[in-house]
Amino acid sequence: MDDQTTYQDLFRLEGRRALVIGAGGIGSAAARALAAHGADVTCADWDLAAAEETAAAVHGSAVMLNITDAEAVRTAAERMPEMDIVVLTAATNVRKRILEYLPEDFDRVVNLNLKGTFSVIKFFGETMVRRGTGSLIIFSSIRDQVVEPGQSVYAATKAGAVQLVKTAAAEFGESGVRVNAISPGIVETALTEQIKSQPEWYQAYATKNALGRWSVPAELAGAVVYLASDAASYITGTTLRVDGGWTSVDGRFTPPTSSSQGG
């Protein structure tokens, strides 16, 4: 990177092929941002209509993909071996305390969030390693680091996803493949309608982070473009936190301060 033209091109994605898995909500914003920077985007979702809606917006293609089906992921990777960028946003949560959790709740969350993540990393990583290039971007959550009641299994899967990302980065790195995670804070999507519908809960989350507000999906898109692009060519195995400072501050209470007080 030794001239102005090179620096200007750092975020350009022309000629690169991207697959966004979980093409609604955050995935839709990610697909739009990748397309805006020049990538040829394929949108995948278990809900084909959601994939098609985003695909239409980015002039891309749409496919149905259920990542809880490992064979379906394997087949998709074999049919799309040319992908330079794969972004996984799909996830689910069952908000229950541990003593209330049912085995079927556990299986539902783990099968999508952890097993599905493993399948995407394994099968799409395999095609990237063969080609000697690629960027895998896995969405985690602040729950990979901090928790609250009712988040046990979800938090465990997100922490597990981060460890899969680190291991894949270590294993794929010599082949020129980068693997990273993005860890959002609280985002206004259809999946957070339950929280948004309760004003006290909504406000409590807003005041927990340093910026004092929720994020919107578009605010995650820059992180996706960055990790997909040459601007992040020496970044792998990392978790990029886009959480408004949630994991950096105590939140909820701003104490009085003076030079004589300890902490």
CATH number, domain at 108?
3.40.50.720
* Confidence at 256, pLDDT banded by 50, 70, 90: low
Residue with tokens 């809960």, as numbered in its chain: 201
pLDDT at 193 over 60: yes
Does residue 35 contact residue 27 with C-beta atoms inside 8 Å? no
The reported pLDDT for the residue numbered 5 is: 60
Q: Is residue 198 part of a domain?
A: no
Per-residue burial over 50-66, b = 16 or more CB atoms within 10 Å of its CB, e = otherwise? bbbbbbeebebebbebe
Largest CA distance in the chain: 65
pLDDT tens-digit readout, 131-179: 999 999 999 999 999 999 999 999 999 999 999 999 999 999 999 999 9
How many whole angstroms separate alpha carbon 100 and alpha carbon 246? 27
Q: From residue 222, how far is each of 11, 98, 215, 226, 244 by CA, in Å? A: 10, 35, 13, 6, 14
Which helix or strand (DSSP H or E) is residue 241 part of? strand 239-242
Q: Is residue 54 part of a domain?
A: yes
pLDDT at 206 over 60: yes
How many whole angstroms separate alpha carbon 136 and alpha carbon 227? 9
pLDDT at 190 over 80: no
Per-residue burial over 161-199, b = 16 or more CB atoms within 10 Å of its CB, e = otherwise? bbebbbebbeebeeeebbbbbbbbbbbbbeebeeeeeee
pLDDT tens-digit readout, 214-254: 999 999 999 999 999 999 999 999 999 999 999 998 766 66
Taking alpha carbons only, the member of 67, 208, 91, 192 closest to residue 141 is 91
Q: Is residue 23 part of a domain?
A: yes
The reported pLDDT for the residue numbered 260 is: 46
Count how many domains the chain has: 1
Q: Is residue 118 part of a domain?
A: yes
The reported pLDDT for the residue numbered 88 is: 98
Q: Is residue 203 part of a domain?
A: no
Q: Which two tokens stand for residue 54?
A: 């985003």
What range defines the domain where residue 45 resides? Answer: 15-187+216-243
β-strand 17-21 against 239-242: which pairing, if any? unpaired
pLDDT tens-digit readout, 4-47: 668 989 999 999 999 999 998 899 999 999 999 999 999 999 99
Does residue 121 contact residue 166 with C-beta atoms inside 8 Å? no
* Confidence at 192, pLDDT banded by 50, 70, 90: confident
Q: Tell me the CB-side half-sphere exposure of residue 172, using CA atoms within 13 A.
A: 30
The reported pLDDT for the residue numbered 259 is: 47
Query: Which residues are known to be catalytic?
Result: 154
Q: Is residue 201 part of a domain?
A: no
Q: Is residue 142 part of a domain?
A: yes
Q: Is residue 49 part of a domain?
A: yes
Could you tell me the sign of the dihedral formed by the alpha carbons of 138, 135, 27, 198, in that order?
A: positive
